[in-house]
Amino acid sequence: MTHLKITGMTCESCAPHIETALEQVPGVHAANVSYSNGTAQLDIEPDTPFEALTAAVAALGYRAALADVPASPVSGDKARGDELHIAVIGSGGAAMACALKAVERGARVTLIERGTLGGTCVNIGCVPSKILIRAAHIAHRRRESPFDAGITANPPAIDRAALLVQQQGRVDELRRAKYEGILESAPAITVLHGEARFHDARSLVVKRPGGDERVVTFDRCLIATGASATLPPIPGLADTPYWTSTEALASEAIPARLVVLGSSVVALELAQAFARLGSQVTLLARGTLLSGEDPAIGEAITAAFRTEGVAVLEHTQASRVAHAAGEFVLATAQGELRADRLLLATGRAPNTRGLNLDAAGVAVDAQGAIAIDPGMHTNAPNIYAAGDCTDQPQFVYVAAAAGTRAAINMTGGEAALDLTAMPAVVFTDPQVATVGVTEAEAKQNGLETESRTLTLDNVPRALANFNTRGFIKLVAEAESGRLLGVQAVAPEAGELIQTAALAIRNRMTVQELADQLFPYLTMVEGLKLAAQTFSKDVTKLSCCAG
């Protein structure tokens, strides 16, 4: 890696011009120029003349000089001067975690991104969706709350365009702080913009935005290309201006009528958010809502949605979709549906099709997901994968943990990802939070279980909030009492589930959970109360009884 000090830049737009000029110099594989740091990182051939680099910069009116870069210790299987080179395809949670950990352990990294730095979560997923959901929650509470008898409700005026400016501003801020800025300050990471495909098991071909191609050889490679929304095979659908979550989150207007296809996380979160912001929402579920979870969860969320005016049509599919005169028309067994917008949230597929994985011998399943072991190894030596492009659960925190462990394994360490106590949250209201196994899953694993369900009218915090919708369910091993799983539908259920995850991780019994100290008038106290129901009638206990 060669580092230059660049002087004379006056704004952010100078950097890409210098990058382009440097990459046109014979022998330069990639250039990453930082305006804020006044530096350039170059991946070049050893015999590339320094004079050619300075001349390319000088031709644009700037000046370049060699920069001193302090040496860092190297671990792994190569020594300094012949550093382990890791190629990372993608720049989301898994990619960034891997790149940073690999550099920490002495490797140099080429990070290849075909689009916007930061991946799905910060740009078009977790961050903008949670901002939208929170705004919708505020709108809903201004419209109605359990305290309206004493606090006058005032229906809000929704300015979606203004909300979008606020939303995008925070997205841009986080991308800059957590991705772009970090990469610019990491000399051992070279960012290469372009679309990568495997040439063989040791090299990639990267097609640059201008059409030229670069070959990147590597010692190790991480595939972290994420996933994209899938299009269900409904006649006529492909010819309509349908929304995926990306378009929905970027919309400057709230549609008067919205139909949502889907019954899982994204469908439910966005359906409720748009309903609370003013849309008349109809949700079409092929089966029941959140059908992969304990049945009581779907029943509770369906009831909550219908109470808020969301039309939930279970066991319903669209047989045909048309769009004319600005209106969607969906044919279903329940009759014809009409809407101003149609949101597809029927699942996501791994972004692996264009990688030419066959050339590297990397195997995928029928859905295109890369099969990996707990150490993130693919079936191909020296090639790893992490995140939504794999067969692991599609959560950004799982991806980041996998990326970190992949980097450790790439650089001579030994790390595995244990998902037995993986918490998950659906940001509806009430929220859904789960960890461990359900009763049905435990039975499939040959375990005899005992379970208890505590309704929220037994939780003092919920009573004080005048909001007792939901429940907390604990699943335990019958013989030992060891906690195996927790399912919760409750306001802020996501804030209590990590306590349950720690209890499962530490193999606690329900009695040990019941014996813990929990602060009074918190939702997480519901875990203690639920655990106490295995041995006593909590309705007969005084407040905060131990």
Report pLDDT digits (tens) over 350-371: 999 999 999 999 999 999 999 9
Confidence of residue 503 (pLDDT cuts 50, 70, 90): very high
Write down the domain spans for the chain: 2-66, 75-230+347-419, 237-346, 424-540
Using the predicted structure, report yes or no on whether residue 72 has a pLDDT greater than 60: no
**CB–CB of 128/135 below 8 Å?**
no
- Distance separating alpha carbons of residues 18 and 56, to the nearest angstrom: 8
Residue 47: is its pLDDT beyond 60? yes
108-146 as b/e: b if 16+ CB within 10 A: bbbbbbbeebbbbbbbbbbbbbebbbebbeebbeeeeee
Rg (CA), the chain: 26
Query: Is 298 in contact with 215 (CB distance < 8 Å)?
Result: no
Q: Which residues contact 1 (CB under 8 A, 6 or more apart)?
A: 41, 42, 43, 69, 108, 187, 188, 190
| Straight-line distance from the first to the last Cα atom of the chain, in angstroms, rounded to the nearest whole number | 62
The more confidently predicted of residues 304 and 39 is 304
Q: How confident is the model at residue 74 (pLDDT cuts 50, 70, 90)?
A: very low
More confident residue, 472 or 63: 472
Task: Count Cβ atoms within 10 A of the Cβ of residue 299 and give its class: 0-12 exposed, 13-18 middle, 19 or more buried.
Answer: middle
Which of 3.40.630.40, 3.10.20.440, 3.30.390.30, 3.30.70.1290 is the CATH number of 424-540? 3.30.390.30
Q: Catalytic site residues?
A: 9, 11, 14, 62, 121, 126, 543-544
Confidence (pLDDT) at 73:
34
Q: Is the dihedral of CA 87, 89, 91, 95 positive or negative?
A: negative
Three-class secondary structure of residue 434 per DSSP: strand
Q: How many CA atoms lie within 13 A of 45 on its CB side?
A: 11
Architecture of domain 237-346: 3-Layer(bba) Sandwich (3.50)
Residues contacting residue 70 through CB under 8 Å, at least 6 positions apart:
none
Residues 6+ apart with CB under 8 A from 307: none
pLDDT, tens only, 236-246 = 999 999 999 99
| pLDDT attached to residue 95 | 98
pTM: 0.85
Whole-number pLDDT of residue 58: 84
Ramachandran bin of 466, using left for φ above 0, alpha for ψ from -120 to 50, beta for the remaining angles: left
Backbone angles phi, psi at 105, to 5 degrees: -95, 10
Share the mean pLDDT of the chain. 93
Residue 52 has a CB neighbour count (10 Å cut-off) of 14
Domains 75-230+347-419 and 237-346 share a fold: yes
CA distance 429 to 370: 34
Exposed, middle or buried, 205 (CB in 10 Å: 0-12/13-18/19+)?
middle
Token duo for residue 202: 């040791």
pLDDT score of 173: 97
The CATH number assigned to the domain with range 2-66 reads 3.30.70.100
Residue 80 has pLDDT above 70, yes or no: no
**Cα–Cα distance between 289 and 298 in angstroms, integer?**
5
Lowest mean per-residue pLDDT among 3-12, 188-197, 346-355, 356-365: 3-12
Q: What is the pLDDT of residues 224-283, one digit of tens each?
A: 999 999 999 999 999 999 999 999 999 999 999 999 999 999 999 999 999 999 999 999
Q: Give the pLDDT confidence score for residue 13 in this predicted structure.
A: 74
- The phi, psi pair for 86, rounded to 5°, reads -115, 125
Which of 34-48, 517-531, 532-546 is the most confident on average? 517-531
Q: Is 189 helix (H, G, I), strand (E, B) or coil?
A: strand
Question: Which amino acid, 42?
Answer: L
The whole-angstrom separation of Cα 178 and Cα 333 is 47
pLDDT tens digits, one per residue of 382-402: 999 999 999 999 999 999 999
Mean pLDDT confidence for 137-156: 95
Residues of the chain above pLDDT 90, percent: 83
335: pLDDT strictly greater than 50: yes
- pLDDT-derived band of residue 5, with 50, 70 and 90 as boundaries? confident
CA-based nearest residue to 293, from 263, 315, 261, 259: 263
65, β-bridge pairs: 5
CATH number of 75-230+347-419: 3.50.50.60
Q: What is the pLDDT of residues 427-477, one digit of tens each?
A: 999 999 999 999 999 999 999 999 999 999 999 999 999 999 999 999 999
d(CA 488, CA 300): 10
Would you say residue 81 has pLDDT above 50?
no
Q: What is the pLDDT of residue 77?
A: 44
Q: Give the pLDDT score at 67.
A: 67
